[in-house]
Amino acid sequence: MTAPKRISLSGTNGEIGFHHGVSLKEQIVRQIELYYEMFWNSSKLDREGVHRRAREYKETILKLVPHIHEEIVGIAEGAGVDVLDIVALNVRSEIVLGEFQDGCTSISWKVPDEDGKPIQYLAQNWDWIRPVQENLAIITLSQPGKPTIQMITEAGIVGKIGYNSASVAVLLNALRAAPTDTNKLPIHILLRLCLESNSASEAYSQIERYGAASAQHILLGDMSGAKCLELSPIRNHCISPNDNDFLAHTNHSIENTAIKESSEFPGSKERLARTYEIVKTINPTDLSPQILRETIFSDIENGNFSICASENACQPKWIRIMTLFNIVIRLKEGCQPSAELAFFNDSADWIGPQNIMRL
């Protein structure tokens, strides 16, 4: 694979969006073409149908978070595309809820270092279709009066997985559940608001204030700890770590009874159980990004539905899910937050780290 393009953005939200669009124009155009093909194949939605749904969310974004709307408009202008195409990228999880199968395995673990001081790890494998890999981008985002954001995202999408200079970090797992509510904010917009926050509690208050447009899972943390947030337009629910300060989540609701899943996400429960099984074999005092990658996140038990998933060539190409990257975020008091990214190849037999880079 080609390493994701790395860009730094700053200025007003309009300027940030415009330079995002200019810098990632090629990737954005590919993403739009790719997702419109997926929208049609999964839900028989043509461009007009997608725009009809995107238009409702555009109005909500403009009303609730106008600075994000300004940025989305800037991306469209910079890339030379219709603004509704950029909205569609940012609300793709809501447009065809339950049809996409972007499965992921996320964990958090607070452990002591050699001096007994706590280190908070948040880590996940991100599983999606292989063509998206060439459209990923690593973005450094600086806004006046807000923490600096480091995130890995899909080109054209304003928020996703990463951390900020205030040591707030977010991970994402898709859920397959109804309903949606176009008066609330799409998940990728909520992720961006989390990354603009100065603490995990502030981030959660933003989620509660605006509400989630669809059922999704965010693993949110800072140095005070981490929580699994099972979000729903009906009701949100927080899951706290176990006695070992460990948490894991995959692609099904664990405790939020307001989430009614349309169908079982293949392999999700097995991956969750496997994660808790593997973590018992790890000495917390030895924990490192490398150990997490080599134990939990390289596990291939359960074939195409494993934690580290290979592409299933028997599936239609728009749902051939595989592990595209692993991220391990490290937070420690008195230290700058950091993250390592490991990107995976498309071997049908084994997926191992192809290269490792800092976020």
Q: What is the pLDDT along the chain (359 residues), one digit of tens a residue?
A: 678 999 999 999 999 999 999 999 999 999 999 999 989 887 889 999 999 999 999 999 999 999 999 999 999 999 999 999 999 999 999 987 655 556 799 999 999 988 889 999 999 999 998 899 999 999 999 999 999 999 999 999 999 999 999 999 999 999 888 789 999 999 999 999 999 999 999 999 999 999 999 999 999 999 999 999 999 999 999 999 998 999 999 999 999 999 988 778 888 999 999 999 999 999 999 999 999 999 999 999 988 789 998 887 777 777 788 899 999 999 999 999 999 999 876 554 444 555 788 89
DSSP 203-263: HHHHHHHH-BSS-EEEEEEETTEEEEEEE-SS--EEE---TTSEEEE-SS-SS-TT-EESS
* Domain 99-358: CATH class, spelled out: alpha beta
Pairing mode of beta strands 216-222, 225-231: antiparallel
Nearest to 250 by CA among 278, 272, 221, 229: 272
At CB < 8 A and 24+ separation, what contacts does 62-67 make? 64/185, 64/210, 65/185, 65/189, 65/193, 65/210, 67/13
Angle at 131 between CA 130 and CA 137, to 5 degrees: 100
Where do the domains of the chain lie? 99-358
Report the amino acid identity of residue 76: A
Residues 6+ apart with CB under 8 A from 168: 147, 194, 195, 197, 198, 199, 200, 203, 220, 221, 222
